[in-house]
Chains A and B, each alone.
Chain A
Amino acid sequence: MRTVLLASMRHHTRRYVAASLAVVIGVAFVVVTGVLTGATRSGLTADAGAPVAGVDHVVTMPGDREVTRLMEAAAEGGFPAMAVGYAMEPVFRDGIQLTQSADVSEVSLDPALQWQTLEDGRYPASADEALADLNRAKSSGVSIGDVVRIGSGDDAADVEVVGLVDSPSVGGASLYVPWQTLQRFDGTLWVSAVAWGGSTAAAGELAPGASVETSADWIAAQQAEISRGVDIIAILALLFVAIALFVGALVIANTFAILFAQRMRDFALLRCVGVTKRQLRRAVRLEALALGLVASTLGLLVGGALGVALVGLVGVWFDDMGGASLSPLWAGAAFAVGVLVTVGAAWLPTRAATRVAPLAALRPDTGVDVRTAAGRWRLVLALATLVGGSALLAVSVATTTVPVMLAGGALAFVGVLLLGPVLVPALVRLVGGLAGRGPVRRLATGNAVRNPRRTATTAASLLVGVTLTTAVLTGLASSRTAIDRDMDESYPLDATVTAIDAPLPADLAERVAAVDGVDDAVALDGTLASVREQSVPLVALGSQPGVVRGDRRLTTPDGVVRLSYDLVEALPRAVAERVWADRELTVVTGGRERTLRVRTGSGWGQAGIVSPATLAALDPAPQPLAVWVRAAEGTDAEDLSGDLAALAGAAGADLGGGYGNRSWVYLQVDIMTGAVVGLLAIAIVIALVGIANTLGLSVLERGRENALLRAMGLTRTQLRRSMAAEGLLLSTVATLLGTAIGIVFAWVGVQVMVGAVVDDVGITVPVWQVAAVAVTASLAGLAACVVPARKAARVTPAAGLALD
């Protein structure tokens, strides 16, 4: 039997190429995931302990007052201590805002705790000196010697940048200032731990609410935390690996089913000469095993090479990438999964193949009749799963439970796959009929549906990828609509320029409107009222201006002032308390006092909003005090903010607005969309390999038939075209079905996941994206036929007729 096995493997090597390709891609995918996450993990964890490397203990989770006490005690006692945490503050240079919010951490004045990697300059020697992150400094145009102002209002501190450092992405910050300066930003400061050089007893006394642990323990905990984060990403990636492998299994199962059907006579002949059923089954399973072993080995090699290359590539932009390495466990698991998927996928076809009767070899050769039919039990099972899955989906929508939705989705999809042998040929006939009647199309349609199960499996492999991609794209687009509404609510204005203590120049609105990326700008008139000697700009809003996003009303009734939370917080404490308690604010304009009722909110910058009538009563001669801006779609947030900051700074005004946040959130959604589509693309590629494979193997099978057609007058071009039409039909049907199911799944997903949080969620189909996926998948199906079609057309009729 060994001779037969080896000879048959040699003989059929070429036919196994596509199936092995599916396994190679799947295994390589696992390996690349392992290499990338390994490198990310080692890179990120490498620096985790740096801030506390110089001390023996760490005080974790201290309260605000405890931090202050600890830091003071250390200063008095002359031993090292450093706060691990950050404050989020705006940064200005020469009155111009560089960023709305930068993370500021501590740099110790004690050399023992100066953990940052200095790239240029020196460490700070006093409270008014600072370190800046190299990359952030570069993007904001800050260099050594620049004096920047951190924070706003009374807490603002001017510091000179004396050194540039390379910040790690975990535990790093944009700016580092000594504790004396950092503690001024108590409004936004959050300290998670204090690196402690003193005695543990003293720490316990000073911070009874905190816990003291050794630096080693703390570092281990930090690294574990980072690892967990990386693990979550790895698990998410493995989910896509599983999808790709599932598609791969479909392709492999189909390949074996086709190959075995073609070799039925060989099998029967073997049975005739005395090979038992068991021996035959063993032989073909050994073939599958050999294929799995070879393909998985190749997958390991390809994945390893690709992983190393990717780690190198990512390292160009992302400094914190560690070295590429692969744990033996991960490699072993990838290999085992590849072999198991191959052998598992070959299992069923093997059973069917070895059931052949020895007599089959003796029957006259009437051609390979590989017609397979959908069994009745299969149909019943398919309908049952489909109905059951749909019912579960309906339940999940009604109860917004995610696990039920996942179970229902999986069940319904399996139902569709089981129904494939009936559904797919019917759709192929329908689509083929719509395309027109010519002989080439008739031939293509006929060929595409003659083996329903094979056609269905081929379509199913592509269906998986298209369904998931469409569902994810539509789901994200729908969530994005919900996010949009939420964003409009939170950030009604893209940018605001608000006067602080002097009116704005009259032409500022015009100059703002002329800035690149500004869609519209409107100037608001108002008066600079004073509250306990503090200047508060009040602007009048008659009707909702067009620059405001969403439906949120910003206008106010007469006698009411709309104040932002920030503005209230910046008022003298007694006034602020009265605002919170009585909802009243007394302002002085033109020497007269007036009390206004207060509404609070946020999103319109540092000015109070009043009605035009109220303003007229306060000040008969209002002046421009604010410019509200709406950004054009797709404007770069950094550029816009830089340009507006320059104008605002020159006018002595404050810059606010939500465009930066909005862009950041959209960027996250875009990155997520890109990542998911990119990962699913691998499953689609495997499916296309499957289509090419099915067509390629069918060509071998139809050699005589094609020769007959050619003899009767089918030209080479017509033959190629009919093959192309067949591939296109298959991919189009899979794509149409996948798009439809994907949109349904997305609707359910949005109802269940977003509907649980937001009322009245609709579905937004990203028409262009979905269309792009559909067109790409269909055309790729066409591309998959190029090689098989050429091969089929090359055979001369005489040679084809001589084929056995």
Chain B
Amino acid sequence: MTTTSLQARTAASARGLTRTYGSGDNTVHALRGVDLDLPAGRFTAIMGPSGSGKSTLMHCLAGLDAATEGSVSVAGRDLAGLDDTALTLFRREHIGFVFQAFNLLPMLTAGQNILLPLELAGREVDRERYEQVVGVLGLADRLGHLPSQLSGGQQQRVAIARALVTRPDIVFADEPTGNLDSEASAEVLGHLRRSVRELGMTVVMVTHELDAAAYADDVVVIHDGAVTAHLADPSQDALVAALRGRRA
């Protein structure tokens, strides 16, 4: 396992993270003692086949799901021991999300969707930041549209804008291109990378597509609930080897 020496800060980390579902004979071990540090200011992809536990890992790191054992800390804060409300407030302040589908509320316009997290938190809208994010994502002429009037790629861009506008410590993206054609996928992934490069954000993306992972700086490979590789700036070959090495 290689680690980068460039990492200055850790945006999120897990120690001995275990998550099981069910009990007795029906117990499913989604995560088996994951240790992981995600560096700030980087675009990290979490890769693995279906059922490898990558979505569960993301949910636990993002405070959407509680760990069965082990600890998770985000932005220097240990998430264990936070009750539901505290966790919600924490997410609101520090974490942004982009999901595969159902990203936008159908009855709100694109602009309203982008500002929703700020509104939920009762925070003042930073107009400059809003304009900046909308500009970077090329949404300026789409703000008054309802989600149903936008293409899949545009919808995901709105979701990214919404995740960025609060200046979160970390943005989690769960298969953000899962429903998109290759052109729209490239566009969305490009925007995610730009938000890291140009806006200095930290983005963690769960994906099972090799092409998508190619946009990331770092790649974490997960299999059967355990991390098998954490590669910094991997070459395509190294990545394929890491994925294949496990499968062989």
Contact = CB atoms under 8 A, between A and B. Distances in A.
The answer on A and B forming one complex is yes
Given A447-B107, A705-B105, A713-B120, A801 B99 contact: yes
A369 interface: yes
Given A367-B106, A369-B106, A796-B64, A712 B97 contact: yes
A332 to B, nearest CB: 47
A362 to B, nearest CB: 14
A367 B107 CA distance: 13
Interface stretch (B46-54, B82-90, B236-244): B82-90
A439 B64 contact: no
Interface in B41-79: 59, 62, 64-65
Nearest to A366: B101
Given A367-B102, A439-B119, A450-B106, A713 B92 contact: yes
Interface of A is mostly: helix
Interface in A699-742: 704-705, 708-718
B62 A709 contact: no
Given A447-B107, A715-B85, A716-B85, A709 B64 contact: no
Interface string A433-466: 0000011001000110110000000000000000
A704 B103 CA distance: 9
Interface string A785-802: 000000000001110010
A713 B84 contact: no
Contacts of A801: 59, 64, 99, 102
Q: How large is the interface on A (under 10, 10 to 19, 20 to 34, 35 or more residues)?
A: 20 to 34
B125 to A, nearest CB: 12
Interface string B91-135: 111000101011101111000000011011110000000000000
Contacts of A450: 106-107
A369 B92 CA distance: 27
B179 interface: yes
B101 A711 contact: no
B148 interface: yes
Contact of A796 (B65, B91, B92, B148): B65
Nearest to B86: A715
A446 B99 CA distance: 22
B91 A713 contact: yes
Contacts of B101: 364-367
A366 B91 CA distance: 25
B121 A713 contact: yes
A704 B105 CA distance: 10
Contact of A705 (B102, B117, B119, B121): B102
A449 B106 CA distance: 12
A364 B122 contact: no
A732 B91 CA distance: 34
A303 to B, nearest CB: 42
A711 B102 contact: no
A715 B105 contact: no
Contacts, number: 78
A217 B92 CA distance: 85
Nearest to B65: A798
A713 B179 contact: no
B85 to A, nearest CB: 5
A371 B149 CA distance: 14
B97 A711 contact: yes
A723 to B, nearest CB: 15
Nearest to A799: B65
Interface in B208-237: none
B45 to A, nearest CB: 20
A711 B122 contact: no
A369 B149 CA distance: 13
Contact of A716 (B84, B106, B119): B84
Nearest to A798: B65
B64 A797 contact: yes
A714 B122 CA distance: 11
Interface string A412-441: 000000000000000000000000001100
A446 B59 contact: no
A366 B104 CA distance: 11
Contacts of B116: 439, 709, 712
Contact of A713 (B88, B102, B105): B88
Contacts of B102: 367, 704-705, 708, 801
A704 B100 CA distance: 12
Contacts of A705: 102, 105-106
| Most chain A CB within a 10 A radius of its CB, from B89, B103, B107, B108 | B107
A607 B119 CA distance: 80
A439 B179 CA distance: 29
Contacts of A449: 107
Nearest to A796: B65
Contacts of B59: 798, 801
A713 B119 CA distance: 10
A712 B92 contact: yes
A796 B106 CA distance: 21
A267 B119 CA distance: 38
Contacts of A369: 106, 148
Interface of B: 59, 62, 64-65, 84-85, 88-89, 91-93, 97, 99, 101-103, 105-108, 116-117, 119-122, 148, 162, 179
22 contacts: A367-B102, A371-B106, A438-B122, A439-B116, A442-B119, A446-B107, A450-B106, A704-B102, A708-B102, A709-B120, A711-B62, A711-B97, A711-B99, A713-B89, A713-B92, A713-B93, A713-B120, A715-B85, A717-B85, A798-B59, A798-B64, A801-B99
**CB-based closest 8 A-B pairs:** A713-B92, A798-B65, A439-B119, A446-B107, A798-B64, A704-B102, A798-B59, A450-B107
Given A446-B107, A714-B88, 10 more contacts: A439-B122, A705-B105, A708-B99, A708-B102, A709-B105, A709-B120, A712-B92, A712-B120, A716-B88, A798-B59
